Amino acid sequence: MADRIPLALVGIGKIARDQHIPSIAGGDDFVVAAGVSRHGKVEGAENFTDFNAFLAARPDIKVVSLCTPPEVRFDMAKAAIAAGRHVLMEKPPATTLGEAEALSELAAKAGVTLFATWHSRFALGVEPARQWLSDKVIQSVSIVWKEDVRRWHPGQAWIWEPGGFGVFDPGINALSILTEIIPGHIMVETSVLEFPENKKQPIAASIAMRTVEGAPVTAEFDWRQEGPQTWDITVQTNAGELRLSKGGSELYIGGNEQASGPDREYAGIYERFAKLIRSHQSDTDYQPLRIVADSFLCGERKVVAHFED
């Protein structure tokens, strides 16, 4: 425990309790020394309700993990960077590309680590999928990412507000895997975004994209799926089919299972963060956020039925 790096966890909500706290406790690199939240607390740590008060009171804590909604994250990250802290940002890293790119520049100038995390990239099947696809010709990619918002985001009204991303909050997980396993840029051609008549963010999206080489890429996101949930990415190549299922935790090549196992996504995030800090590096790949932004730029808005969550 003495060798662990003290860390402040900011935003003690569902994702912090379900994933960050147990993953930090189960790893060897960090210990939660402080919590910052208006409503939640971390047991066994010093807790603050104001972020700037934390920065002033605990200059000894050099690492900050931001688990807040994205619309408030820029000011916190900027303040932390100015105070010389290393910063981890939950996905999506910021509300806009402008904010994200500004933070990268600020971190580089300050000489601190900035880590824009994409937890789905750490799913068990993603890295072996990337390796297998690295020398293949990509013929097409199909993403089907459908889940029940009532199950996974209960009472989280912020996701329907401007900057809350709507169905792209889970959809960006698929895009993070896509941009990790497919070499080169992915470009948006068209999109259809379905907005419930009482919401400000989309509940579903259909996106047509292409690789630089011209291979078609399609994505279907929907937050209204009841029963079994669907998180699949299927890639057709010159050497056969690759499929990632259950959010990347299962990998099939030619229909044969190649990898499966327990969830270690957030454990992987914190292992990566520790390595970045120790090597004085940052990791700020904003490709998934760019695809979301491009989908809105190219998007046809479609109003659908009233939705209550």
The rounded distance, in Å, linking the Cα atoms of 47 and 21 is 14
SS3 of residue 115 by DSSP: strand
Dihedral pair phi/psi, residue 281, rounded to 5°: -125, 165
Nearest to 242 by CA among 113, 134, 86: 134
Strands 46-48 and 30-36: parallel
- Rounded distance, CA 259 to CA 257, Å? 6
Indicate the pairing of strand 138-146 with strand 216-222.
parallel
Cα distances (angstroms) measured from residue 98 to each of 34, 102, 241: 29, 6, 37
Asked whether the CA dihedral 143, 153, 293, 64 is positive or negative, the reply is negative
C-alpha 166/C-alpha 285 separation (Å) is 21
Residue 97 sits at φ, ψ, to 5 deg, of -65, -35
Specify whether 246 is catalytic. no
Tally Cβ neighbours within 10 Å of residue 306: 9
Geometric angle at alpha carbon 178, from 136 and 9, rounded to 5°: 140
Q: Among 62, 91, 146, 199, which one carries the catalytic annotation?
A: 91
- Write the burial class of residue 289 (CB in 10 Å: 0-12 exposed, 13-18 middle, 19+ buried): buried
Task: Cite the active site residues.
Answer: 91
